[in-house]
Amino acid sequence: MSEAVRVERRGHVLEVTLDRPKVNAIDVTASRLLGQAFVTLRDDPDLRVGIVTAAGDRIFSAGWDIKAAHAGSEVGKWWDIDYGPGKFAGLTELWDLNKPVIAALNGHVLGGGLELALACDIRIAADDAQLGLTEINLAIIPGGGGTQRLPRLVGRGKALEMILTGMRVPAAEALRIGLVERVVPAAELSTAAVTFARSVAAKAPIALRYAKEAVVGGMALPLADGIRLEADLSTLLRTTEDRLEGARAFLEKRKPSWSGR
């Protein structure tokens, strides 16, 4: 796979690293490669959790590669059938994943870079991170789901404040408003993300998938329908071999050995 996106397996965890110095901007090629990495995570039954991160310590991603998007053969590619609105940076493949994905956010997380993070399930930020949807400064608006995902995390007012001003939110404030779930010292970001991912990957894989489906799918439903979805998935889990193994391991005071069945 191209150096623009590096993929590394860590047991049941797939780490996807954006590596486009100096600002990790995302062009058409990087967007396609990110999508391919998320498909790998989706289709490989041995992979249970994903991590999305970026090389360097100053910039997670500045978002779209504006220079490439307005130069030569790149013009128009952003808006073709494969990479139109909402499909930037492999976001369609990421959003459709039935496995949890963690974003490890270092440095500046701006524009499409933040939209990539918003499409993940858990966000862990370095304590020096700055997060913002800065598209308004270029006379555009977020086009990768930012106007929809951000208010679902931080509320309408705060989302509008961020989007209308292009303001950058420091990590501590991002934690306070619910934009990220954890903040760690910058030097510990990679370790924290991998440790958390491995702790999740140690759980029964079917239960992980159904837990995500219940939460994400349920949020799009009226409460009564969400409760029914939860009940259906819970009932299905009771028919699995892993549910029996979990009970046996608990009674025998040992670590369970999940089969994924």
Q: Which residues are tagged catalytic?
A: 115, 135
User: Which among 209, 195, 198, 200 has a CA at the least distance from the CA of 240?
Assistant: 209
- Check if the beta carbon of residue 204 is closer than 8 Å to that of residue 193: no
Give yes or no for a cis peptide into 87 (omega within 30° of 0): no
- For 23-46, the DSSP string reads TT-B-HHHHHHHHHHHHHHHH-TT
Distance CA 98, CA 10 (A): 19
Buried b (16+ CB within 10 A) or exposed e, 36-61: bbbebbbeeeebbbbbbbbeeeebbb
Question: Rounded CA gap, 98 and 100, in Å?
Answer: 7
HSE (CB half, 13 Å, CA atoms) of 170? 5
Do residues 137 and 164 make contact, with C-beta atoms less than 8 angstroms apart? Answer: no
Closest CA to 20 of 1, 37, 38, 3: 3
Distance CA 238, CA 241 (A): 8
